[in-house]
Structure 1
């Protein structure tokens, strides 16, 4: 099925989408978290009447606005790429994937954009409570906008609430609520927006630390750090819990991804968690460059079994179990799945040929057989495997998945400790004396962005080769256009996005150096 597909086109299309998504995610998490922090700060202003809180709110609101404006541009391009580069995917699941994207554009983004205008330009024009309401609704709109995007992504990871229509060769939604409230969607949404909250908390503390090092705006910096630290502690602890729930969901619905980011090659009962490990350049299997041996690893017994199945002695399948099969624990081999996928594709092809030839009786029989629940469960559920020619294509990039996951988790625990120290020093009035900590706070900002990007690498690289889990591999989703066209737009976007990022950083740095201002208004 893949002989006619140009793999260089697939790789360049993936690279272009990854480039756009990663640049877009530079801007999004700060928007998600900073919007809530701003709303909290303005609430303190309205409750206390302390004009210092108004000055603090307006400063962080300015940085929010700069980030929001540039983030919109990359988001729009990202959605257009589904049509330009991934038209086969859009055709196959457009009825499902398009719904949350449409809701996000029509409702969530519209709401966010409407109230953001009041938030920025409503000072001294509307009452304090109306302005505060607009600020909270902007924060709510930002999270609501993220919800629909993440629901769409979660459906790709775990397709539910749909059925396949052989007449149109498309997947159609039959249960919107199952799509919206699937455990995968819930965990992905909660974990992702909370990661944005953590990043924003680190950002506020880091920028405030710069003011303290410069001995400027000390009261502003102290108050900002207290709010961001409390917000960060709650968010980072909750982030750890949502990450645990998300990992458990992945273990059950995407076991190959789970095995890849845990570096688990051979499954076992009471599987241990690799807390730290370094891979060598030696391949455990010469036929696959993604399977590298470990030079060193620190493993904690039984933890992985409990994390995956809430059972200290549960069997956790490794990559080899999922590829070669494990009859004892009921895991089918990849070769068998590929064969079943081909049977499903052959049945669909025969049905379409009967329809085209006008043989309605044969077509009706083949459709009945295709839609039979047993056939759907035992054959169509492996439809995407029919595109594959080699079982090794099912193994994602293990080193990249493993290191990205451990960087993300390690930094996640670091941020919990970081926020606790920030709050402790702030409440004890020792922040100005802790100059090493203040410098560390500044350097923690890029670390937060690194953790955020690593999380998406785990989510997207770990699920390869699937664009829709088990139903459509990436190689079948790509638009058949010239590779040179994708290469040209890749470099064009790379230049544009880099210039946008440089522009944002320059504007941000300029505003930070100017510092917070107090206007003459009484509102």
Structure 2
């Protein structure tokens, strides 16, 4: 695999980041709002109160607008694997393509089938059948997210595969190891529950807008009640699954964890930084500059979260590069130099295997195959030139992680306060809290974007952890051509985003059906 100029790599990464981040503007609202509208319709079916029917119909309308544009951006993103990342697709397509195929065949068709009943079947099917279609629509959307996250998790923790030396491809050997990877399962629950928080913040924020405008008061309070309770549950579960994420990252991606905490020197009983500021003069893991200008640390919490042992040793960036510490399985971590050397051995044995097979030397070929398999877990290190190449961008990873956590804690407090004021019947009179609720929508979107920055920046330089760096995964497309498509995509996606916001805003200003706004 020929390494391309860094400008091509940067352009390909920029294009994918652009499309992924635009796409992720729409997905969390779909996943969160979908459950909320289903809960509201469930209340309608159980109580027979028509106001809940029209409340559910209003939020379903906003769900449909957002869902349609989210589908459009997602389709464009998947095509990039064949255009800008063809080496990656060739190398792992047999594995990576499987969950994406399942997502399209099973989950997407499930959504497409029942969403039509949900929107057009109100007066054509029974209440129970319609409610089932609503729940099946959001179930399909959630399953769709699951299979996409399985694909992403496999890149972070490749499992259930074997490298075929004859085809030069990784092939799936254990479907369930891929589909039920602990990284995939935890990533799914963390992503979905955080999306519930986004949907809840949207519903509460829009409800607060109606209160500020002193219109549709009953509808707004009813929506806020459901949204706030659901949002509090969502963010509490997000915090819980975040703990699971920290554990999985510690076990599978120690370099990412070190970057998240700005931890350069490993230590026993490592604390978790609550608030901190990185030192911009820290240029390398090898210099003697203090990595933090200041930090407020919770003692021993990082060790406890990562190893379930408050006194456990947590490796820092320097430790991961230099090796020598004990891994969770009891073996000793190799240094970058040792891993690169073993990666080079795998590369050379792969080349020798091809020659031996061509010349009919089956015994030699079998020996070379064994060498490749013994060293394949370090295959990607042969593409790296220096120790610094295996260190992700610490600044982006550190600040994204800590800001994301702070916003998550804010929302737990925010939804608790909203519920308190609602129960005291003071929410419609508390103007300052209504404005906080409206502007908190933006914070929820920021938090979910920051989560993906942590996940993707933190695993650099890898496309597939330890096996294939991004520099070896790109296609032979010039930087200029990629730049042209970046501009085109940016214009298209910005247009779609403006259209989405405009249509949503227009529908919100129009308001719900009058029956949904009547007072009790």
TM-score, with structure 2 as normaliser: 0.96
Give the direction of change, closer, same or farther, for the CA distance of 1:211–1:382 in structure 2 (3 Å limit): same
Q: 2:301 aligns with which of 300, 303, 310?
A: 303
Distance (Å, rounded) in 2 between the aligned partners of 1:502 and 1:33: 21
Q: Shift of residue 298 of structure 1?
A: 0.8
1:338 aligns with 2:336: no
Q: 1:263: how far off? A: 1.1
Cα separation, 1, equivalents of 2:485 and 2:286: 34
Residue by residue over 1:80-138, the C-alpha shift from the partner in whole angstroms, topping out at 9 and shown as x without a partner, is 00111101111111111101000000110000011001101111111111111100000
- Tell me if the contact between 2:50 and 2:515 (Cα under 8 Å) persists in the aligned partners: no
CA distance in 2, matches of 1:505, 1:324: 49
Structure 1 equivalent of residue 291 of structure 2: 293
Instruction: Give 1:325 shift.
Output: 2.1
Partners in 1 of 2:502 and 2:90 — Cα distance?
A: 41
- Give distance in 1, aligned partners of 2:342 and 2:371: 15
Show the counterpart of 2:146.
147
After superposition, residues 68-83 of structure 1 pair within 5 angstroms as: 68-83=67-82
Shift of 1:486: 0.5
Listed as ranges, the matches of 1:100-499 within 5 Å are 100-285=99-284, 293-327=291-325, 330-371=332-373, 375=374, 379-499=375-495
SS in 2 for 1:281: coil
Query: What is the deviation of 1:358?
Result: 4.4
Shift of 1:195: 0.7
Within 2, Cα distance between the matches of 1:179 and 1:30?
27
Counterpart contact for 2:264–2:285, Cα < 8 Å: no
- 1:327–1:207 distance in 2 versus 1, CA, 3 Å: closer
Q: CA deviation at 1:482?
A: 1.5
Q: Distance in 2 between matches of 1:399 and 1:189?
A: 26
Distance in 1, matches of 2:192 and 2:149, equals 10
Counterpart check, 1:94 vs 2:96: no
**Aligned residue in 2 for 1:35:** 34
CA contact (8 A) 1:96 1:173 kept: yes
Deviates more, 1:506-515 or 1:296-305: 296-305
The alpha-carbon deviation at position 427 of structure 1 amounts to: 1.4
In structure 2, distance between residues paired with 1:277 and 1:148: 36
SS of equivalent residue, structure 1 residue 283: coil
Instruction: Return closer, same or farther for 1:64/1:353 CA change in 2, 3 Å cut-off.
Output: same
- Mind listing any 5+ residue stretches in structure 1 that lack a counterpart? none
Alignment partners' CA distance in 2, 1:89 and 1:285: 30
Name the counterpart of 2:44: 45
- In structure 2, do the counterparts of structure 1 residues 284 and 81 end up closer, same or farther at CA, with 3 Å as the change threshold? closer
Secondary structure in 2 matching 1:276? strand
Q: Distance in 2 between matches of 1:491 and 1:353?
A: 45
Q: In the comparison of the two structures, how many residue pairs are matched?
A: 511
Gaps of 5+ in 2: none
Seen in structure 2, the aligned counterparts of structure 1 residues 361 and 285 have a Cα distance that, compared at 3 Å, is: closer
Pick closer, same or farther for the CA change 1:484–1:413 going to 2, 3 Å: same
Q: How far has the Cα of 1:368 moved from its partner?
A: 4.1
Measured on the aligned residues, the alpha-carbon RMSD in Å equals 1.6
Aligned equivalents of 1:152 and 1:365: distance in 2?
32
The CA deviation at 1:332 is 1.7
Q: What SS does structure 1 have at the residue aligned with 2:279?
A: strand
* Closer/same/farther in 2, CA of residues 6 and 259 from structure 1, 3 Å limit: same
SS in 1 for 2:489: helix
Q: Aligned-pair distance for 1:391?
A: 1.4
Task: Please tell me whether the aligned partners of residues 284 and 292 of structure 1 are also in contact (alpha carbons under 8 angstroms).
Answer: no
Deviation at 1:327?
Answer: 4.8
